[in-house]
Amino acid sequence: MNKKELIAAVAQKAGVTKKEAANVVGAFVDVVSEAMAKGEPVKIVGFGTFEVVKRKPRKGVNPRTKAPIKIPGTKVPKFRPGKDLKDKVK
């Protein structure tokens, strides 16, 4: 499902226009993105948790030259599904 299909499904389920649903979906994405940019987790009970995880720096190997390289640490977004979501997917 892509964003356009998600907007159509939300509009149908909520009984609103696609334009209103697009505003709601867009606002949701913005709020989650802004919270994660600040390092704050977003917890939706029954659905899951959006959070930022720090990766430690590590050593790697350049596949072309086989020379060792240092891979710097970074922050990455992560989603952990909640129990209700896991049960529905099973």
The HSE-up count of residue 29 (CA atoms within 13 Å, CB side) is: 9
Closest CA to 30 of 22, 47, 76: 22
For the chain, give every domain's residue range: 3-84
Q: Which residue has the tokens 């030259």?
A: 65
CATH assignment of 3-84, among 2.40.30.10, 1.20.1260.10, 4.10.520.10, 2.60.120.200: 4.10.520.10
- Give a three-class secondary structure readout of 32-53: HHHHHHCCCCEEECCCEEEEEE
Whether the model pTM is above 0.95: no
pLDDT digits (tens, 9 = 90+) for 22-73: 999 999 999 999 999 999 999 999 999 999 999 999 999 999 999 999 999 9
